[in-house]
Amino acid sequence: MEENAWLIVLILLPVCAAFVPYLFAGKEALKWAGRVLITAAAMEFILVACLFISSFSGGFWYRVEEFGGFGLSFAMDGFRAVYLLILSFMWMAACVFSVGYMRHHENVRRY
């Protein structure tokens, strides 16, 4: 296994994208939330697909030292890579269909 910092991007990308709708209000929030959500989900799926293909050579790991006193480590290999690929595809599909669903609801900024 080799070290790969892209694993931390897999976690930070959706977290950062979640804050974008709070910059807009009303109908603009729905329009931008949908665009940012679908773009972030597609980027996440593409990144996972690239890492999935690269994981056949043995997998990846990344460790954040001194996080919470113990450290934090991430790994991607074998079944984890397959599961993450399926999960990211399902998230992307749910994001595409949820934009139309949320058009008729209030409090879109919380979405």
pLDDT digits 0-9 by tens, 71-97 = 888 889 889 999 999 999 999 999 888
Q: What SS3 state is found at 70?
A: coil
Q: What is the DSSP letter of 74?
A: E
pLDDT at residue 26, as a whole number: 66
Query: Alpha helix locations (H) across 1-111?
Result: 6-17, 27-54, 78-102
Q: Are 85 and 52 in contact (CB under 8 A)?
A: yes
Element holding 2 (H helix, E strand): strand 2-3
- In whole angstroms, give the CA distance from residue 46 to residue 108: 27
pLDDT at residue 32, as a whole number: 76
Q: What is the DSSP letter of 58?
A: S
| pLDDT tens, residue by residue, 25-83 | 666 666 777 888 899 999 999 999 999 998 888 888 898 888 788 888 888 988 999 99
